[in-house]
């Protein structure tokens, strides 16, 4: 595969942009390769600057559930852009967006639009703290909620109750308010409440974890979190930035039948443009400025172009209800790859919820971050490299999710499975 242009572009980028990328995972460091510079996308395919074509399972890390350049998204942008790109003033479409979000996710009575998932979760945490008058939060190992300081925390060593920063530059005094429990571990979560009764403002959780690879909630886990928050009068925040409108029309909360107090949304909601949101009960949301005393703001929040792309995406999902079709295609991919790995006696655990999945080179089960970390990363990297060479663009990390879109055909899925067979013959 010719990668001449991507290599020279990467060299130039590295002189001007830290790591040559505007978001670390794009640098391909986790898989030990150099990134391909992408020139265009159409449907489920992308083409790089050397003309190499790939079937894309990154889909912009989740937003493109309808694939690249969906006609209705492009048409909507073309219609709106001639009226202006941004006003810094309320627009009619923001009401329409709020209406469709509230209709698709009934637990949301009011919603505030922002421009990134990080903003959505950071704001939801501040809102929960303002609403409860408490400072501490609980998150889970392996869950990622964007890069705000409070959420860049990992469990302290041993029995230490306080967390330690998960990044340089994050003051330890900030993450001391963040408690970290193992995902799917209700007993450990209850212990945090018993250690700090009446001090915990919120639990924030990915209802289906997607940032350590896909790790579904164990039976009863989400119900247990709901019960703990009710018992201790804490706010339950579902970070559905990845799962919202992805794993079902109403997200993970609809799939598992759990009602959170606040929901964070992103990715799909913008259809590839920067839209995110957080919402919940009127009682909590009206604590936000300018009504209440919890401050939150954003120059481009509710941006007309971004909202137009998001509206076109959500309306298409509402009209076409593609979730059964996505389930069929995603299950075909999962079973096809599992059969190949099993036949080749390669230990594997594939976790999938709807159209997000991950392949772990590990006998399983994979129910928490420690188990994820014990999977064979080198084997994944060899698999990744071989698939890329054959024109299959997977998420460049063993600890990320693959995404299937409505634009992936059965033939694309079957070609992917064939490439997986060929890669195992050679590389894994």
Rule CB under 6 A: is residue 30 a binding residue for ligand KE4? no
Rule CB under 6 A: is residue 207 a binding residue for ligand KE4? no
Closer to ligand KE4 by Cβ: residue 211 or 316: 211
Q: Which residue is nearest to ligand KE4 (CB)?
A: 117
Closest CA to 426 of 391, 366, 385, 374: 385
Tell which one of 10, 57, 61, 360 touches ligand KE4 (CB under 6 A): 61
Rule CB under 6 A: is residue 116 a binding residue for ligand KE4? yes
Task: Give dist(CA 73, CA 134) in Å, integer.
Answer: 42
Rule CB under 6 A: is residue 178 a binding residue for ligand KE4? no
Q: Could you tell me how many residues of this chain bind ligand KE4 (CB under 6 A)?
A: 19
Closer to ligand KE4 by Cβ: residue 61 or 380: 61
b (16+ CB within 10 A) / e for 150-161 = bbbbbbbeeeee
Task: Give dist(CA 10, CA 6) in Å, integer.
Answer: 6
CB of 266 vs ligand KE4, minimal distance in Å: 5
Rule CB under 6 A: is residue 145 a binding residue for ligand KE4? yes
Rule CB under 6 A: is residue 251 a binding residue for ligand KE4? no
Rule CB under 6 A: is residue 111 a binding residue for ligand KE4? no
CB of 398 vs ligand KE4, minimal distance in Å: 12
**Is 232 in the active site?**
no
Which range in 174-182, 234-242, 374-382, 384-392 contacts ligand KE4 by CB under 6 A?
234-242
Tell which one of 4, 15, 16, 23 touches ligand KE4 (CB under 6 A): 23
Rule CB under 6 A: is residue 117 a binding residue for ligand KE4? yes
**Is 39 in the active site?**
no
Tell which one of 48, 166, 239, 261 touches ligand KE4 (CB under 6 A): 239
Q: Tell me the angle at which helices 410-426 and 377-389 cross, rounded to the nearest 10 degrees.
A: 120
Closer to ligand KE4 by Cβ: residue 27 or 110: 27
Which range in 34-42, 127-135, 237-245, 310-318 contacts ligand KE4 by CB under 6 A?
237-245
Strand pairing partners for 211? 213
Rule CB under 6 A: is residue 206 a binding residue for ligand KE4? yes
Task: Give dist(CA 135, CA 252) in Å, integer.
Answer: 27
Task: Give dist(CA 383, CA 392) in Å, integer.
Answer: 11
**Is 42 in the active site?**
no
Q: Which residues have CB under 8 Å from 407's CB, separation 6+?
A: 43, 44, 66, 67, 68, 70
Phi, psi of 152 (to 5 degrees): -95, 70
Other beta carbons within 10 angstroms of residue 273's beta carbon come to 18
Rule CB under 6 A: is residue 211 a binding residue for ligand KE4? yes
Give the CB-side neighbour count of residue 3, counting CA atoms within 13 A.
Answer: 14
61 class by beta-carbon count within 10 Å (0-12 exposed, 13-18 middle, 19+ buried)? buried
Site for ligand KE4 in 276-315 (CB under 6 A): 276
62: left (phi over 0), alpha (psi -120 to 50) or beta: left
**Contacts with ligand KE4, residue ranges (CB under 6 A):** 23, 25, 61, 116-118, 121, 144-146, 206, 210-211, 239, 241-242, 266, 276, 400
The set of catalytic residues is 144, 239, 267
């Amino acid at each position: 595969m010719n990668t001449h242009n991507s290599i020279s572009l990467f060299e130039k980028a590295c002189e001007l942009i830290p790591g040559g990328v505007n978001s670390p995972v794009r640098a391909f460091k986790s898989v030990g390769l150099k990134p391909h510079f992408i020139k265009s996308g159409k449907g489920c395919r992308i083409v790089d600057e050397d003309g190499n074509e790939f079937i894309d399972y990154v889909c912009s890390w989740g937003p493109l559930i309808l694939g690249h350049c969906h006609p209705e998204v492009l048409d909507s942008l073309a219609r709106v852009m001639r009226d202006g790109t941004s006003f810094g003033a309320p627009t009619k479409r923001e009401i329409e967006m709020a209406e469709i979000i509230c209709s698709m996710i009934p637990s949301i009575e009011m919603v505030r639009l922002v421009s990134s998932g990080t903003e959505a979760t950071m704001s939801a945490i501040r809102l929960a703290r303002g609403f409860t008058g408490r400072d501490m939060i609980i998150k889970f190992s392996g869950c990622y909620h964007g890069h705000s300081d409070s959420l860049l925390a990992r469990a302290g060593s041993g029995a230490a109750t306080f967390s330690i920063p998960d990044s340089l530059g994050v003051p330890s005094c900030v993450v001391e308010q963040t408690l970290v429990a193992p995902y799917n571990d209700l007993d450990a979560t209850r212990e945090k409440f018993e250690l700090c009764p009446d001090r915990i403002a919120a639990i924030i959780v990915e209802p289906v974890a997607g940032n350590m690879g896909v790790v579904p909630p164990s039976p009863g886990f989400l119900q247990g979190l709901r019960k703990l928050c009710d018992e201790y009068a804490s706010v339950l925040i579902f970070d559905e930035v990845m799962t919202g409108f992805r794993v079902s029309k109403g997200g993970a909360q609809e799939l598992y039948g759990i009602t959170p107090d606040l929901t964070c949304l992103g990715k799909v909601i913008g259809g590839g443009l920067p839209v995110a949101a957080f919402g919940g009960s009127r009682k909590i949301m009206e604590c936000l400025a300018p009504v209440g005393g919890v401050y939150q703001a954003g120059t481009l929040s509710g941006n007309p172009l971004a909202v137009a792309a998001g509206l076109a995406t959500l309306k298409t999902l509402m009209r076409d209800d593609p979730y059964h079709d996505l389930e069929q295609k995603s299950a075909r991919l999962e079973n096809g790859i599992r059969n190949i790995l099993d036949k080749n006696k390669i230990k594997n655990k594939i976790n999938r919820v709807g159209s997000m999945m991950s392949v772990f080179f590990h006998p399983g089960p994979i129910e928490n971050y420690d188990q994820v970390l014990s999977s064979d990363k080198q084997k994944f990297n060899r698999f990744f490299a071989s698939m890329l060479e054959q024109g299959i663009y997977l998420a460049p990390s063993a600890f990320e999710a693959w995404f299937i879109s409505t634009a992936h055909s059965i033939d694309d899925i079957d070609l992917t499975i064939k490439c997986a067979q060929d890669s195992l013959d050679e590389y894994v």
